[in-house]
Amino acid sequence: MELGTELILDMNEIVIDGENLTRDEVIAVAYGKPDKPKIVLSEGAKSNVRRSALAVQTLLERGEIAYGITTGFGAFKDKIISPDEVKTLQRNIVLSHAVGVGKPFDIPTVRAIMLIRANTLARGYSGIRLETLELILEFLNRGVHPEIPEKGSLGASGDLAPLAHFACVLIGEGKAEFEGEILKGEDALEKARLSHVTLAAKEGLALTNGTTVMTALGLLETAKAIRLAELADISGSLSLEALHGTTLAFDERIHALRPHPRQIECAKNLRHILADSDFVRGFDPANVQDAYTLRCMPQVHGACRDAVAYAEWLLKLELNSVTDNPLIFISQSEPSEAADGLTPLVDNAVNKKDFPSLLNQRGIIHPPATAGGSDIEIEVISGGNFHGEPLALAFDYLAIALTELGNISERRIMRLTDEASNAHVLPAFLTENGGLNSGFMIVQYTAASLCTENKILSHPASVDTIPSSANVEDHVSMGATAALKLRQVAENLEIILSLELFCAAQGIDFRRKEIGMDKKLGKGTRAIYDLIRAKIPFIEKDEYMNDHIVSAKEIVRNFDYSIWKETQENV
């Protein structure tokens, strides 16, 4: 089970409308199973999608020129495409852009990508047809998972290469996973009892142009980051107890004088976790303060939580944003009496030569008034909502913050294993008969190695840009690269915190030998210590350590913060 997957149990159906998709719903679908939860379109979204698709058909009927509909893409924006080649154009963009490399995304990431893409298309500004959008939902509901390579996106125009791999399967090309098999796209569709679509005008561009992949990646890692930030307080608290630290630095009066909200929140959390502990010390005139790695947890952990909160806020916006280009805007002067409450944009029985040519420089079209007397205006406007800069900056910021959580955790591991640093509270490298036994010496090495990797990965992707498409797309975000880096940083942090808990539990057992086996841990650390000891014994002498590290990582990965919180509150 991955972090946050308990949400699946509470969701049977998710209705998407392009405006109200939540992080919890994305997580439930990502880690769920086909049809659990089931994804459906709202009736309002269906109407909006039909309306937008009709607008595209109106443009074609009028013979008007519109970017990405009757023109080429990128540097080919001035190349006019004849009406009889429009469908070929849309197929070609999907095939030619499917140039991603690297290992494929895992199934949860692919499912998140498909759901988020469907949601942005459901707003009805992209010109996609209802049948194409509903096929995406059928992929989710039946478990057809396109094979999407991880690398190849510049983060503007959106995530072109990875989204093209996804779109390929919609037209029966590419590859997909279905029921545990990797199949050719058409074969996967056939086994799922689905039929491919033939892309109509604008659809290939609508499917491939947007920030969907970086959003999906970033959302899943931000959900993990929330949990890891909570675990950092717990692992730090267990280390503090093992090191005979003090809670005086967490006094609420101190933090009220520097009123950073998450610093205050972290200090309160630490006070609660360590409440009633027999392992902490009170005021000691000979030892009035601890090292920064213990004393400054509220300031460091709290600042890192700021980065998590910023990413949460940003993703909430991005989930329900339209990141396609160009966008189709439709307005009408009064309510219609047509089906779905919408005035038909084009009556195909009417010859297009009867339409007055009212196109202006902005691409505005005024079809004739309908029977209901409504006047409809269609605008096709090119913009830059596909640019991933907001996401790239947020993910770089979050990666730096998670790297810092790893840095401070590794320094606590060092203090647990270095008897000079811990004033001989604990034996060297947490082992008896040191010399013959190396104990936890190399555990700290592993943590240090992961910290160094994270420091390298924390170089911001967003400060880099490489012009593309003959310098038409002359500034890109590298947002997908930022999200991929973030994923690796989060994975490394998960292991670092696992190692700290492994070491801290060993330290607690040494402390118990000194102060008494009946001594109690804090309200919040008892539960995590018991989880560790249920799977990992006290290490009396050197033995094969890797299995214990794997067990510690499983504890962290499967740790349910809400259950832990409920348990420790009842202590």
pLDDT in tens, 117-160: 999 999 999 999 999 999 999 999 999 999 999 999 999 888 99
pLDDT number for residue 348: 37
How many CB atoms neighbour CB 276 within 10 A? Answer: 12
Domain with residues 220-317+387-569, CATH architecture: Up-down Bundle (1.20)
- Mean pLDDT score across all residues of the chain: 90
pLDDT number for residue 60: 87
What is the set of active-site residues? 67
Identify the residue with better confidence: 76 or 196.
Answer: 196
Picking from 21-25, 173-177, 362-366, 501-505, which range would have the lowest pLDDT averaged per residue? Answer: 362-366
pLDDT in tens, 281-291: 988 887 889 99
Mean pLDDT throughout 221-240? 97
pLDDT number for residue 366: 40
CA–CA distances in Å: residue 523 to residues 246, 276, 301: 15, 6, 20
pLDDT number for residue 353: 38
Question: What's the number of CA atoms in the CB half-sphere (13 Å) around residue 131?
Answer: 9
What's the CATH fold of domain 5-210? Fumarase C; Chain B, domain 1 (1.10.275)
Mean pLDDT throughout 203-211? 96
pLDDT class of 83 with cuts at 50, 70, 90? confident
Q: Where are the domains of the chain?
A: 5-210, 220-317+387-569
pLDDT class of 368 with cuts at 50, 70, 90? very low
pLDDT number for residue 217: 98
Position 336 pLDDT exceeds 50: no
pLDDT number for residue 569: 62
Mean pLDDT throughout 181-196? 98
- Residue 157 CB contacts under 8 Å (≥ 6 apart), including other chains: 74, 209, 325, 386, 387, 473
pLDDT class of 367 with cuts at 50, 70, 90? very low
Integer Cα distance of 269 and 257 in angstroms: 17
For β-strands 38-41 and 101-104, DSSP reports them as unpaired
How many CB atoms neighbour CB 522 within 10 A? Answer: 27
Position 568 pLDDT exceeds 70: no
3-class DSSP state of 369: coil
Picking from 61-70, 249-258, 373-382, 510-519, which range would have the lowest pLDDT averaged per residue? Answer: 373-382
Position 357 pLDDT exceeds 60: no
Asked if 109 and 115 touch (Cβ cutoff 8 Å), the reply is no
pLDDT class of 359 with cuts at 50, 70, 90? very low
Tokens describing residue 525: 């650390």
